[in-house]
A and B are shown apart, each in its own frame.
Chain A
Amino acid sequence: MFLRRAAGRPRWLADGCFSWAENESFSVGLFVFRRRRLELRLRGRGEPKEEVGKILKKRDVISAVEALLVHGSVYAPVEKDDHFVFEEIERASDLRLEAAQTVHSAKGAFFPSKDPLVRFDLSSGDWEELPPAAPRFLFGLHPCDTWAMKAFDCWMRDGIPDDRYLRRREHGVIIAVQCLKKCNEDSFCGSMGTYRIFEADVRLTPMNNGYFVEFETEKAREVEEAWREILLEATVEEERELEEMKSGMEDAFSGAEVDLERLPDDMKASFYAPWWRDMGKRCLDCGQCVAVCPTCTCFAMIDECNVSLTECERSRRWDGCMFHSFAEVAGPHNFRSDRCARIRHRMNRKGQWLNRRFGVPFCVGCGRCVTACPVGISPLKVFKRAQGGTADV
């Protein structure tokens, strides 16, 4: 029965999402499997030739992007006013694959900040659906962005699916780059367990002189085809270097400060803790955290007419739970009228409710919100405080 649904078994178990623990062991398992395969190869036991790894040399990156641009649009980090942002690129040379971290996440590719849904013709009273356009290749996502994509997928597929998101998601090919160290001093992906690429169609692992390339999915074939002339076969030395890079990476992200298993329960236990009030006093309601967050999914739907009032376009725009009007209804009644309640809502969405419901982290530890926040509010500090830490939030 409908009404009982939420009370019973966690929804994500029924919907085929992974549990967190399974996820972890899945990734670790895959890692061990690759390692073993590589060991065998290094010992000369031989594997079929087509299994040999591919290398994208640094000097070939631009031609690789050019090859992709022939097949479709490319959404990648570019430089803008001394910052890096994800944008659809026009020239391959605009790409900044070495970008430490973009200000905004890549969510805008599948969930644009303004997404026109329907156009109303006010003279005839008729209306038409506007098709969702989306970039073809998402190039240069970091591991945290791939985890955020997974979180987005869980949210958008749950119940009645969001067809506009799914159409774009299905269309897009994700080319992710593994981080070997923290890309932003505010990030805490090591604590959130999101420093390894979760899912990508193509994985790039940085090496001294280029990238080790792994094609993972059916959708990657198009990229593989486009890059056939560009990629080189990895030498034994390069494969050894890859292994060193990967083990170095594990060290770079060690020292997790959050107990992810216990986090939802700890957040629940501290829901009425007095320190939320202190944080509510500091928060400015600016909503920058929401805009830069890769897992913030909330939106509003807005109808705008042209000046002559002959047409009206309905679009969905990013919205944020940090804004005063977010939980306001006619009456007037506001269900979260004070800042403390709003910041607590946002943090619990990341640390308690959605990660419990779907079994994947909804804060991926990218640290973008920490960098953007004018008063230095950080989910990491909140999670640590909820888990018994004493430092100020």
Chain B
Amino acid sequence: MSESVRRAIGESSVYTPRKAKVESIQPMTPSETLLELRPSASPLRGSPGQFVQVTIPGVGECPISLCSDCRETETFQLCVRRVGLVTTAIHRLVPGSIVGIRGPFGTTFPLEEAEGKDVLLVAGGLGMAPLRSFVEYILKNRDRFGEVTLVYGTRSPKDLLFREEVFEWYYEKPISVILTVDLAPAGDWTGEVGPVTIPLRSLEIVPARTLAVMVGPPVMFSYVLDVLREKGLSDDRIYCSLERRMFCGIGKCGQCQIEDLLCCKDGPVFSLSQIADRGEAL
């Protein structure tokens, strides 16, 4: 094998998972659980916005976004919704179980671009999981950012993720938090009701110094985007994290291709100016 190839590919295959131990696992909602993993050899060192491929031996592998800022920590957290085979198996894990991980893969949230600016975070449902890592990063470096606003919408109050943290932010106000739910049982809920676009529309922002990041289900993007554009935000100030089917995580399996971009390698965090003219993206 030539030296250049040896240098490029390293010792172990990029397709071979490394081991990680489950530190803790705690249910957050009826369908979502929070998993904390400790890689056995070296820490993951992933940045907010990136994802890892999680293997459950005997079941399969699936991509999960990092939900903690683990650039300097020994462990990292994943928020997993039970939808398929692998995620159901993840829900059955117990502390001490061994899983496989590959990664971190993909691009990060605009950590540097957002410095010195107001940051508007829009989360829909499970989109809160990746955005929580960005909030953690912001809270660690709070003086580097201007006004930070989180608009977070879920189906119902019981679906709120990171409930305790979110309420802490809500009451302590290190960042402003606006919560909204699609359906609220009478009497229980004092926050907003309706889609995230409603509180977003009444929010006052200064487009010249604001940067927006949205993460949520595919159906949310176009509505939120309309509001952000109405408010005068230019496409290069809007970022979103996209979801696609993916296997390899390194831009080879072709499953996550969005026209000429690969979601796993050129994304999953894209600036809207990258994807605005790609009809398949949103």
A300 CB-CB contact with B under 8 Å: yes
Question: Is A166 touching B15 in the complex (CB atoms < 8 A)?
Answer: no
In residues 220-275 of chain B, which contact A (Cβ within 8 Å)?
239, 243-245, 247-248, 250-255, 257-261, 265-266, 269-271, 273-274
Question: Is A162 touching B255 in the complex (CB atoms < 8 A)?
Answer: no
B275 CB to nearest chain A CB (Å)? 10
Q: A6-B261, A163-B10, A333-B218 are in contact. Are A127 and B58 (CB under 8 A)?
A: no
Question: Is B251 touching A158 in the complex (CB atoms < 8 A)?
Answer: yes
The secondary structure that dominates the A interface is mixed
State A159–B61 Cα separation when bound (angstroms).
Answer: 22
B250 CB to nearest chain A CB (Å)? 4
Question: Is B1 touching A159 in the complex (CB atoms < 8 A)?
Answer: no
Q: A6-B274, A159-B251, A170-B1 are in contact. Are A330 and B83 (CB under 8 A)?
A: yes
Partner-contacting stretch, out of A60-68, A95-103, A320-328, A369-377: A320-328
A153 CB to nearest chain B CB (Å)? 11
A173 CB to nearest chain B CB (Å)? 14
Question: Is A164 touching B13 in the complex (CB atoms < 8 A)?
Answer: yes
Question: Is B14 touching A357 in the complex (CB atoms < 8 A)?
Answer: no
Question: Is A162 touching B243 in the complex (CB atoms < 8 A)?
Answer: no
Residues of B within 8 A of A159 (CB): 250-251, 265
Q: A3-B271, A298-B255 are in contact. Are A164 and B15 (CB under 8 A)?
A: yes
State A163–B5 Cα separation when bound (angstroms).
Answer: 8
B191 CB-CB contact with A under 8 Å: no
> Using an 8 Å CB-CB cutoff, how does the interface string of A344-366 with B read, 1 for contact, 0 for none?
01001100111011000000000
Q: A298-B255, A328-B245 are in contact. Are A303 and B61 (CB under 8 A)?
A: yes
> Using an 8 Å CB-CB cutoff, how does the interface string of B100-135 with A read, 1 for contact, 0 for none?
100000011010110000000000000000000000
A155 CB-CB contact with B under 8 Å: yes
State A171–B1 Cα separation when bound (angstroms).
Answer: 7
Residues of B within 8 A of A348 (CB): 259
Residues of B within 8 A of A303 (CB): 58-61
A335 CB to nearest chain B CB (Å)? 6
Question: Is B100 touching A127 in the complex (CB atoms < 8 A)?
Answer: yes
Q: A3-B269, A127-B17 are in contact. Are A356 and B251 (CB under 8 A)?
A: no
Residues of B within 8 A of A6 (CB): 261, 266, 274
In residues 160-193 of chain B, which contact A (Cβ within 8 Å)?
none
Question: Is A300 touching B17 in the complex (CB atoms < 8 A)?
Answer: no
Interface centre among B57, B84, B259 (most CB of A within 10 A): B57
Residues of B within 8 A of A288 (CB): none
Question: Is B17 touching A118 in the complex (CB atoms < 8 A)?
Answer: yes
B12 CB-CB contact with A under 8 Å: yes
A191 CB-CB contact with B under 8 Å: no
B41 CB-CB contact with A under 8 Å: no
Q: Which of B59, B107, B251, B255 touches A160 (beta carbons < 8 Å)?
A: B251
- Which bucket holds chain B's interface residue count? 35 or more
A32 CB-CB contact with B under 8 Å: no
Residues of A within 8 A of B67 (CB): none
Question: Is B61 touching A314 in the complex (CB atoms < 8 A)?
Answer: yes
- Which bucket holds chain A's interface residue count? 35 or more
B280 CB-CB contact with A under 8 Å: yes
Q: A7-B274, A163-B9, A298-B253 are in contact. Are A335 and B244 (CB under 8 A)?
A: yes
Residues of B within 8 A of A336 (CB): 280
Q: A117-B13, A118-B16 are in contact. Are A316 and B247 (CB under 8 A)?
A: yes
Residues of A within 8 A of B244 (CB): 327, 329, 335
Q: Which of A129, A166, A302, A305 touches B9 (beta carbons < 8 Å)?
A: A166
B217 CB-CB contact with A under 8 Å: yes
Q: Which residue from chain A places its CB closest to the CB of B63 in the assembled complex? A: A329
A161 CB-CB contact with B under 8 Å: yes
A270 CB-CB contact with B under 8 Å: no
Q: Which residue from chain B places its CB closest to the CB of A118 in the assembled complex? A: B16
In residues 199-227 of chain A, which contact B (Cβ within 8 Å)?
none
Residues of B within 8 A of A167 (CB): 1, 5, 9
Q: Which residue from chain B places its CB closest to the CB of A353 in the assembled complex? A: B260
Q: A7-B273, A328-B245, A345-B257 are in contact. Are A312 and B57 (CB under 8 A)?
A: yes
Question: Is A305 touching B58 in the complex (CB atoms < 8 A)?
Answer: yes
State A225–B60 Cα separation when bound (angstroms).
Answer: 47
Q: Which of B55, B108, B260 touches A352 (beta carbons < 8 Å)?
A: B260
State A118–B55 Cα separation when bound (angstroms).
Answer: 11
A120 CB-CB contact with B under 8 Å: yes
B265 CB to nearest chain A CB (Å)? 5
In residues 166-183 of chain A, which contact B (Cβ within 8 Å)?
166-167, 170-171
Question: Is B253 touching A301 in the complex (CB atoms < 8 A)?
Answer: yes
Question: Is A357 touching B84 in the complex (CB atoms < 8 A)?
Answer: no
Residues of A within 8 A of B261 (CB): 6
Q: Which residue from chain A places its CB closest to the CB of B59 in the assembled complex? A: A303
State A368–B259 Cα separation when bound (angstroms).
Answer: 24
B246 CB to nearest chain A CB (Å)? 9
Question: Is B8 touching A161 in the complex (CB atoms < 8 A)?
Answer: yes
Question: Is A326 touching B16 in the complex (CB atoms < 8 A)?
Answer: no
Q: Which residue from chain B places its CB closest to the CB of A164 in the assembled complex? A: B13
B141 CB-CB contact with A under 8 Å: no
A113 CB-CB contact with B under 8 Å: no
State A276–B49 Cα separation when bound (angstroms).
Answer: 36
Residues of B within 8 A of A120 (CB): 57-58
B202 CB-CB contact with A under 8 Å: no
Q: Which residue from chain A places its CB closest to the CB of B253 in the assembled complex? A: A299
Interface CB pairs A-B, < 8 A, 15 = A2-B108, A117-B15, A120-B57, A125-B98, A129-B13, A157-B8, A159-B251, A162-B14, A163-B15, A171-B1, A297-B252, A299-B248, A301-B247, A327-B245, A345-B259
Question: Which B residues lie at the A interface, using CB under 8 A?
Answer: 1-2, 5, 8-10, 12-17, 55, 57-61, 81, 83-84, 87, 98, 100, 107-108, 110, 112-113, 217-218, 239, 243-245, 247-248, 250-255, 257-261, 265-266, 269-271, 273-274, 279-280
The 7 closest A-B pairs by CB, nearest first: A298-B254, A163-B9, A353-B260, A120-B57, A160-B250, A330-B83, A129-B16
Q: A6-B266, A166-B9 are in contact. List 12 more A-B contacts (CB 8 A).
A: A120-B58, A127-B16, A158-B251, A163-B8, A164-B13, A271-B279, A298-B255, A300-B247, A303-B58, A303-B59, A314-B61, A330-B81
